[in-house]
Structure 1
């Protein structure tokens, strides 16, 4: 990746400590120190131990330099009768790896939605990785192409923003990030292979550079027939939704036409302004509404009567298209009933859920729909690239003898009721719809704010401001960021209205015309979509977060010995769901489905004409089906030929093939304009489908993945889980085991990422914090220790004392004590994984020295 991975304030470099008890009789332990080690820090740690233990013997230390930032530390007591292992090596390791306060860095607390999406992606790798692809016909200047994208990155602060790796993730806004543009010459790869390789590579929201651009160059101009270039944008929904990607693409076109340069400085408003606005919102009306809008727990939620898991591949994609004529007829038919194509899709989905549920009388169904997050009274929301798209739970009663028109009307009314709450996250909604799992005052907020936002610096939007400006930057001009007008004009000029050209627009339309709905052409749109069509979801991306947790984990107790925490979790971490490990099922109690209907996004005519004047024609960009936390997501969008495209993205461990579900959806959508009139009932429409197969036993619930966001039983009284949790299987049956010790304040997802980053042949397990302290943990590990398979204990600062005591107990029982690797909580997963691999290789070597 070509992005600059350094923040405006470099992160503190952490010290890692490896504790080795040495050779039998294991009375001469040594510490191997990797990373910066100032004499003052070591002396301070030793003084701290001496002050806490005034009656202990005096210990002398010796440091041997082994290499750059690589030392060996040995200690010996003045009293020759004091055994060498009596020194509190574990506590010393904790002190040496403890983070020290760093100078302030410009940070921003993410929104509740962003925290949920990040936690979801940590638990389910590959989820919320989005791709937008299109074809480029005509000349393509590679240098101008790269320069234009760099200009967009410089202009949009969100593209220089990344999550940090702290326990409560913050957003770090970097001063500079290089645009990542990968250029593949013509003929070097097949386009399907490019897409698949890109998915496997993924994108890390913890690295600056929220967008990756890949170009597969077309055939040279003289080559007949002309073959277009293929362009792919890759991004993560925790930072950008699909609407944002299209906004950025439009900005890129303008930069490309302007010789690679966009006018003006950073765009405002941006996420900083949105967070400030979000913190001012009163959640009481929303809580009241959603408490009353709880979907029935017995509602049908799965559209297939039976499913079979498939072993091949975690994610499946199935796509089909309605013809342009079918799409046009469907839109006209839906408009007749005061609805839209998206409303028709919701009605069809409700019918499939009802049919699969096997009910004969009226019965409820439930699913989720997406909202763009831009139908909010925040100035500039439609033009701001950010992660705003959210998801709502939706439930409706389906009665076989009721008319289809009534079902459409019921769905429309439910969407309109929800339209005032596009700024809420799914986790906030869950906290109000599942009160038995939450405190009475809503979601858990470590800061006490109702929306879960946090301001460690005291500024309104949570950013750090060493200069006194609200965003932490120096502004000699008086504007909030020093580079651009706070009105949102692109060229930095003052616009009292917020329109891009400075003209007055009471409606927010770009040309200043009156639009009571917020549509760009001023037409009436009850939902605020740009083309005036009805979009009950308002979605552009359809993201979903299964976790409901807003910030990771929280430990008010700081216990390390596994004693019972008043929060209900075993390690003292905070669980807003009520489960003992703080995890949560993606829909709160059981699986469900998500409907995504992407808004139409048309480029202005002047932009299309300007590209054409240079001999360039770009096809309509299409999303490629983003995996979400739902086992089945149905995405609908219009392609460049105005055909309605349906894409099913499904978890193959839950449903092997979504072809039947997709085919039945398309069949009903195609037939609705012909058969559904004023008197057509739900039962009449269901007769169009093939007879349901009732002979097959429904599939058993899927096995929950090992990710932190899933758990089979989320009840507060669920039984405690075993102390040892496998995170990664051994690549070789003869390989040993690396055991990670769970530490308070460190989210469970950190251990999952660490296990995925580990590349050695050893198995990786997690030893939970259990009641009984080190003795209970040693008891859990004793079978592995006796078999000689336990090579390394690893973890973060705070677990050193427990790890050292476990190693001593193993040695006392006649086993070979494992090495202990301890590092600071801010150490990245990749770095710690490499350190663990080195320690495992050293521990497994018969000639290792103490």
Structure 2
């Protein structure tokens, strides 16, 4: 263990799993370097004790070696089915307190810190924020978000006409953040995700850009999306303003483009629009919102979700899902590549007249535009699956608003309630189109009764029909893999929006302000192709597609979108009572079919940063904290000047996979040190325990804060651990 006694301004922790001591019952030890905040320390112990089945009182020993040097001995993990989560404790001790000290408060000495080693007690409260379970849908969204900074990042775009008071604008959003708990939320991993609720919002969410800073709104939109979010910090939403050109005539009103970017793990399109409406109220009130914190909120929704009986939902999906798997899209030649990567975006629109005609045609059959879109999509997928033949099951995802549950005021709860669910329907080319329309209408209406059901749970029910779920609405248990469930290759969403408030529009107009209707910019998801339909400010139907450019070629995606719009335009004019599916899709003969390319090989979890270490030197592996931004280790690389080889371990989907990825650097005679910022400790410690169970020498785990001092102190602690 390191023995340097120089004072450290911020806390770093070196976690020894205990196997270095060569005792019969090794005890994990946390060496604490830096100023030990008593309230934070006691709150961390409380948090651990609250989730630990065995009492910890009397089993922890804290030793004081100096004002900025302590060590904490934990109970031995040998034979303990639920060992003390040492990694999570290290994360909590190195975390930033949620609340600053009150005026006049002075930090006292750490509790029970006699140099001979006293028993560490517990406290009733501390500065750590409240946490609560994530929903199963959040669990799936977070798993996909780990694939890239632009995954699950959505946007709303609109234009503000008239004068804009920037101070009032910013203050109004601060007021919304204070009242809405979801805007003060983030995530912690222990090593599985939990939602954490802070008492105060994060930094200002509004950024202002003068005219000419960006070429146009599209440039700003792409820049904002590429930044992603640090999911460990409060604030899943931010707003960027771009001034329009200066008015050229005295009567011309100024304009400002607004790009609202948010993360789907805490918000959805409906939520963002609810928050925009609350912002308008605050702006009109001079930057304030009456009423305090909103309830019910995401915490209440999570508790409501826990109370739902999964039995009827399980029976419904088993009863309505065909036994045969849905027909897949045709595959490209093995080894053939599109030559592109990232997400592709394309859109088209129906005119106002065409939209009205489609609406009336669907209404004559007792359906809506969304049912018409589902019908067209099912026919296109049938056509793409192969030559005309008999009935074939076709599957795709359908997004539900999640606002149909019997929970008071659920329509006003901001949160990630919109839920994509798998829909499978048998398409018969000899059947009338109107029958397929009614079948899909009825199926979606039936699914709406269970729109809270997570797609992963449905996948389990269909894959293992004889099993009965336990704790059905909860994410997988820690021992289970946390991979994404098998998803449909395509997904449809008809933008669900709350009712517009004409009173707010009139009140803004009284201040000389006119705001356009926000337009959604869909997120990149785990599916190969996502199609979102919405109405613009003039009532026209707009279709926007986002596709994985590695799996679908750009030209094929544009062709599919064009076919969709073409059928939506022509069906109301050409589909009579006896028109069959075969007759409709026959009109598309000779046009391009989509071809699905194989998924690219997943990137290696272990990424080399520096060349091999000299003989006898340790290897340092930096562990990415879940939810951290893509450039999380850049400052640490600049601060670390040791000769050791360095790697980065990308956030693994599960602990066994993370441990397996370290095989190249954990051979006989190797010395490994795991390092990272607060938040990486839980998964790093579990990986260390997994390596020990496999007979390898468990590495030391070194953690520190991510601020300026924390980076320097972490680099120093890594040097000391590597030299030990």
TM-score normalised by length of structure 1: 0.63
User: Does 1:757 find its partner at 2:635?
Assistant: no
Separation in structure 2 between the aligned mates of residue 435 and residue 262 of structure 1, nearest angstrom? 50
Where does residue 436 of structure 2 map in the other structure?
Answer: 407
Q: Identify the match of residue 281 of structure 1 among 290, 299, 308.
A: 308
Residues 305 and 692 of structure 1: CA distance in aligned 2, closer, same or farther (over 3 Å): farther
Determine the structure 2 residue equivalent to 1:195.
221
Distance, in Å, in 2 between the alignment partners of 1:72 and 1:157 is 36
User: Does residue 685 of structure 2 align to residue 797 of structure 1?
Assistant: yes
Cα distance change, pair 647–798 in 1 and its aligned pair in 2 (3 A): closer
Residue 584 of structure 2 corresponds to residue 729 of structure 1:
no
- Aligned position for 2:548: 651
Deviations for 1:653-678, whole angstroms, at most 9, x for unmatched residues? 11121111111111111111111111
Q: Gaps (5+ residues) in structure 2? A: 1-9, 20-28, 42-62, 73-83, 94-121, 638-644, 676-680
Are 2:674 and 2:702, in contact at CA under 8 Å, matched by a contact in 1? Answer: no
Q: How far 1:740 moved relative to its partner? A: 5.0
- Is this contact kept in 2: 1:729–1:764, CA < 8 A? yes
**Closer, same or farther in 2 for the Cα pair 1:798/1:689, shift >3 Å?**
closer
RMSD: 4.4
* Cα distance change on mapping 1:184 and 1:363 into 2, 3 Å: same
Aligned partner of 1:183 among 204, 208, 215: 208
Q: CA deviation at 1:181?
A: 1.1
Contact map agreement 2:171 2:288 (CA 8 A) in 1:
yes
Distance in structure 1 (CA, Å) of the matches to 2:700 and 2:301: 42
After TM superposition, the structure 1 = structure 2 runs for residues 362-377 of structure 1, keeping only pairs within 5 Å, are 362-377=391-406
> Hey, what does 2:283 align to over in structure 1?
256
Aligned to 1:623: 520
Q: Alpha carbons of 1:727 and 1:69: their partners in 2 closer, same or farther (altered >3 Å)?
A: farther
Residue 757 of structure 1 contacts residue 829 of structure 1 at CA under 8 Å; is this kept in 2?
Answer: no
Counterpart residue number, 2:259: 232
Find the counterpart in structure 2 of residue 641 from structure 1. Answer: 538
Separation (CA, whole Å) in 2 of partners of 1:823 and 1:281: 42
Displacement of 1:196 in angstroms is: 1.5
1:42-85 per-residue CA deviation (whole Å, 9 max, x = no partner) reads xxxxxxxxxxxxxxxxxxx997x8xx957999xxxxxxxxxxxx
The match for 1:209 is 235
Tell me the alpha carbon deviations over residues 355-408 of structure 1, each in whole angstroms, 9 at most, x when there is no partner. Answer: 111142211100110110111221211122121111221111111111110110
> What residue is the counterpart of 2:584 in the other structure?
685
Write out per-residue CA displacement over residues 128-149 of structure 1, whole angstroms, 9 at most, x where no aligned residue. Answer: 1111110000000011111111
How far has the Cα of 1:733 moved from its partner? Answer: 6.4
Query: Secondary structure of the residue that 1:235 maps to in structure 2?
Result: strand
3-state SS, counterpart of residue 757 of structure 1: coil
CA 1:651–1:807 in 2, change beyond 3 Å: closer, same or farther?
same
Alignment deviations for residues 298-338 of structure 1 (CA, whole Å, 9 cap, x no partner): 31243888896434331111111111111111111111111
For residues 596 and 268 of structure 2, the distance between their equivalents in structure 1, rounded to whole angstroms, comes to 33
User: What SS does structure 1 have at the residue aligned with 2:308?
Assistant: coil
SS in 1 for 2:449: helix
Q: 2: CA distance between counterparts of 1:421 and 1:62?
A: 56
**Per the alignment, in what secondary structure is the counterpart of residue 151 of structure 2?**
coil
**Per the alignment, in what secondary structure is the counterpart of residue 402 of structure 2?**
coil
Q: Which ranges in structure 1 are unaligned for 5 or more consecutive residues?
A: 1-11, 22-29, 42-60, 74-90, 453-549, 555-573, 576-581, 707-725, 743-748, 810-818
Contact 2:30 2:90 in 1 (8 A): no
1:660-739 equivalent positions in 2, closer than 5 A: 660-691=559-590, 701-706=598-603, 726-730=604-608
CA contact (8 A) 1:637 1:645 kept: yes
Range that drifts further, 108-117 or 234-243: 108-117
Secondary structure of the structure 1 residue equivalent to 2:525: coil
Q: How many residues align?
A: 613
Deviation per CA, 1:149-168: give whole Å up to 9, x if none.
Answer: 11111222221122223223
Secondary structure, in 3 states, of the residue corresponding to 1:365?
strand
Residue 573 of structure 2 aligns to a residue in which SS? Answer: helix
Contact 1:213 1:232 in 2 (8 A): yes
SS at 2:579's partner residue? coil
Aligned with 1:131 (options 145, 155, 159): 155
1:96 & 1:259 partners in 2: Cα distance? 44
Match of 1:167 in 2: 191
- The whole-number CA distance in structure 1 between the counterparts of 2:421 and 2:626 is 30
Q: Deviations over 1:201-239 (max 9, x none)?
A: 112332112221111123345668655101111111111
- Is residue 155–residue 265 contact of structure 1 (8 Å, CA) maintained in 2? yes
Is the CA contact 2:169–2:283 (under 8 Å) kept in the aligned structure 1?
yes
Change (3 A) 1:275 1:38: closer
Q: Distance in 2 between matches of 1:268 and 1:215?
A: 30
Q: Secondary structure at the match of 2:271?
A: helix
Compute the displacement of 1:601 (Å). Answer: 4.3
In the alignment, is the contact (CA less than 8 A) between 1:754 and 1:829 conserved in 2? no
The correspondence for 1:352, drawn from 359, 368, 380, is 380
Distance across 2 between alignment mates of 1:143 and 1:95? 40
Aligned partners of 1:637 and 1:644 also within 8 Å:
yes
Residue 758 of structure 1: CA displacement? 3.4
Superposition TM-score, scaled by structure 2 size:
0.74
Q: CA separation in 2, counterparts of 1:681 and 1:833?
A: 66
Equivalence for 1:330: 358
* Structure 2 residue 342 is matched with structure 1 residue 342: no
Q: CA contact under 8 A between 1:131 and 1:625: conserved in structure 2? A: yes
Q: 1:303 to 1:345 in 2, by over 3 A?
A: farther
1:143 to 163, 167, 178: 167
Report the CA distance between 1:831 and its aligned residue. 10
Distance 1:692 1:686, change over 3 A: same
1:302 aligns with 2:329: yes
Deviation for aligned residue 1:639:
0.8
Quickly say closer, same or farther: Cα 1:349–1:626, change in 2 above 3 A. Answer: same
Residue 51 of structure 2 corresponds to none
Separation in 1, partners of 2:394, 2:710: 47
Take 2:319 and 2:385, find their aligned partners in 1: how far apart are those partners?
24
Distance 1:842 1:242, change over 3 A: same
User: Does the 8 Å CA contact 2:621/2:646 hold for their aligned counterparts?
Assistant: no
Shift of the 837–193 alpha-carbon distance from structure 1 to 2, 3 Å rule, reads: farther
Task: Tell me: CA distance 1:596–1:803, structure 2 relative to 1, closer, same or farther (3 Å).
Answer: closer
CA gap of 1:410–1:106, structure 2 versus 1, over 3 A, is: same
Q: Could you report, residue by residue, the CA deviation over 1:739-767 in whole angstroms, capped at 9, with x for unpaired residues?
A: 6599xxxxxx8579698633449443589
Of stretches 218-227 and 385-394 in structure 1, the one that deviates more from structure 2 is 218-227
1:137–1:228: 8 Å Cα contact kept in structure 2? yes
Distance between the aligned counterparts of 1:367 and 1:375, measured in 2?
Answer: 21
2:362·2:372 contact (CA, 8 Å) conserved in 1? yes
Name the CA shift for 1:356/1:837 in 2 (closer, same or farther; >3 Å).
Answer: farther
- C-alpha separation between the residues in 1 aligned to 2:442 and 2:467? 28
User: Which residue number corresponds to residue 100 of structure 2?
Assistant: none
Name the CA distance, whole Å, in 2 between partners of 1:650 and 1:127.
12
TM-superposition CA deviations, 1:444-463 (whole Å, max 9, x none): 6xxxx4422xxxxxxxxxxx
TM alignment of 1:48-197, pairs within 5 A: 69=68, 104=125, 105-178=129-202, 179-190=204-215, 191-197=217-223
Is 1:32–1:71's contact at 8 Å kept on the other side of the alignment? yes
> Are the equivalent residues in 1 in contact too, given 2:359–2:369 (CA < 8 A)?
yes
Classify the secondary structure of the residue corresponding to 2:296: coil
Q: 1:672-721 CA distances to partner (integer Å, 9 max, x unpaired)?
A: 11111111111111122141568x9x655213534xxxxxxxxxxxxxxx
Q: Distance in 1 between matches of 2:302 and 2:655?
A: 35
Counterparts of residues 7-18 of structure 1 (less than 5 Å): 15-17=13-15
What is the distance in 2 between the residues matched to 1:333 and 1:203? 43
Take 2:497 and 2:232, find their aligned partners in 1: how far apart are those partners?
30
